Amino acid sequence: MITRAVIALSVLLSTTAFAQGLDPMRNVSGTTANPGPSLWVPSSPGGWTFFHGFDAHVTYLSQTGPEEQENEVFSTNWLGAGVHRNIGDRAFILARGRVSLETTTIQEDGYPQFFQYVPGELDPTDRMRASDLFGEAAVQIGFRPTQTTLISLYGALVGQPALGAAPAQLRQSGIDFAEAPFAYDIQETYADSTSVVTAGFATSWIALEASAFHDAATTGDHTDLATGDIDSHSARVTLMSPNAMIQVSRGELGEDFAQRTVTSASFTYNASMIAATALWTRREYEEDAFASETAYGLELALRGSRNTFMVRAEHVDRPSGFPFPNLPVGLTVEPATHFTGGYLFDFIAGGRYRAGVGVNIDYRTQTRDLEEIYGHKPQGIYTFVRFRTGA
C-alpha cells in the first residue's frame, strides 16, 4: 500500500508531461523504462516506425592476485529492434526483440570475474555467465482512455516481467561498463523470464503493473528458451517524472530453484550529463536451509561530449562457504563489497553512432582471509573498445 510519504514524494517528482509518463518507446526491457526523453519518435497515425539499437564491448581482461595471472579476450553485446504503429488517436501496437551474441563471444563457462556467483552453473564462482541468446521477443498493445492515462497489455515469449529495475546493460547508468554487476545473481536473473504476460495502467506520473510468467534460467551455452508452465507472479508500482523514476516491486518466483520471494526498490535519474541508479534487492528463500540474501548497489555515470566517468559500488550477500563451491550452503550468508571505477573516451561521438575506448578497474574488500588463494589484492582490469548507437 502506498503511504502518504510516498504519495508526497511522487507529487514532488511528477509532472503532467504526457509524453514522459506514457511513452512506450522508452521501455528498454519488458515494460521497464529508462527515465528521460524518447529514444525514437512514435509513428504518425496509420504509419509504422522501425527502430533498432545495439551495444558491444570488446574487452581484454587481466586478473591479478593468484599465482597464475588470468588474461582473456571476450565481448559483451546486445542488438535490439522493433516496430511501432499508432492505431487512430488513442491506441498503439509495439513489437520488439533483442538478442545477444555472447553465446559465441564468451566461453561457455563465462568470462572471468573474481567472486562472482551464478546459481545453477556447474562452477558458480569467479566466472560471469554469458547473456541468453534471446533476451526479448514481445508484443505490447495500449489504449489511451484520456490524454493522460494508458491501459496496456504486454505478452512475451521471453522478456522481463514487472519486477525490478532495468538490467544493467540497458540502463543509462550501467550501459558503459564492460562487466556485469557483482549482484547479478540477486538482482537480474529474472530479467529473461519466459511466457510473460503483463497488464498495466499508467498516468503521467504513476504506473501500476502486474505480471504472470515462468521463472527459469538457462545453463550450458544459453541458446535455448527455458520454457515451462507459468509459475510466478509479480507486481510493481512506478512513480515517474521527466528525469526520475522510483519503482517498488515484489515477485513470487517458481520452482526451478528453491521457491523464493524477490523484493526490489530503486531510484533512477537520467539527464544530459549524469545518470544514476540506486538499487536494493532482497531474495527470501522458503526452505529453512537457505537464508535471505540482500544486495545494495549504486551506479553513477558522468558524461561530457566525449568523456564518461563511471563508478559502481555494491554490497552483496553471498552463501555461507563462498567462494568454495564444494562446501554446503548453510543458514548464514557472507557479505562482500565490490567497487568498479572506469573511464571511457569516445573517438566517434557525432551522428547516430558512438565508438570509444575505456577501462574498468575492480576493487574488493574482505579478501584477507583468502590471501592464500587469491593473493594480497585480487584485481581485475578490463580494457575495452565500445560501439553503440548514439541515441
pLDDT in tens, 337-376: 889 999 999 999 977 899 999 999 998 876 776 777 777 7
Distance (Å, rounded) from C-alpha 309 to C-alpha 331?
Answer: 39
Encoded amino acid at 178, one letter? A
| Segment of 32-36, 85-89, 292-296, 297-301 carrying the highest mean pLDDT | 297-301
Asked whether 389 and 80 are in contact (CB, 8 A), the reply is no
Q: What is the predicted pLDDT for the residue at 230? A: 92
Q: Which residues fall within 8 angstroms of residue 146, CB to CB, at 6 or more apart?
A: none
Distance (Å, rounded) from C-alpha 194 to C-alpha 382?
Answer: 32
**Looking at per-residue confidence, does 7 or 36 come out higher?**
36
Has residue 303 got a pLDDT over 80? yes
The residue written with cell numbers 535490439 in the block is: 80
- Across all residues in the chain, what is the average pLDDT? 84
**Looking at per-residue confidence, does 86 or 78 come out higher?**
78
Distance (Å, rounded) from C-alpha 338 to C-alpha 38?
Answer: 33
String of DSSP letters for 290-357: S--EEEEEEEEEEE-SSEEEEEEEEEEEEETTTT-TTSPP-S-EEEEEEEEEEEEEEEE-STTEEEEE
The residue written with cell numbers 533512477 in the block is: 268
Has residue 80 got a pLDDT over 90? yes
Tell me the mean pLDDT in the region 180-209: 92
Q: What is the pTM of this model?
A: 0.86
- Residues 228, 135, 219, 223: is their CA dihedral positive or negative? positive
The highest-level CATH class for domain 4-389 is mainly beta
For the stretch 95-141, pLDDT in tens is 999 999 999 999 988 999 888 877 666 555 788 989 999 999 999 99
Has residue 289 got a pLDDT over 60? no
Has residue 315 got a pLDDT over 80? yes
Q: What is the predicted pLDDT for the residue at 284? A: 86
Instruction: Return the percentage of the chain with pLDDT > 90, whole number.
Output: 53
**Looking at per-residue confidence, does 78 or 63 come out higher?**
78
Task: Quote the DSSP letter at residue 47.
Answer: -
For the stretch 134-185, pLDDT in tens is 999 999 999 999 988 999 999 999 999 999 999 999 999 999 999 999 899 8
CA atoms within 13 A on the CB side of 355: 4
Q: What is the predicted pLDDT for the residue at 244? A: 94
For the stretch 240-270, pLDDT in tens is 988 999 999 999 988 655 568 999 999 999 9
Domain boundaries, the chain: 4-389
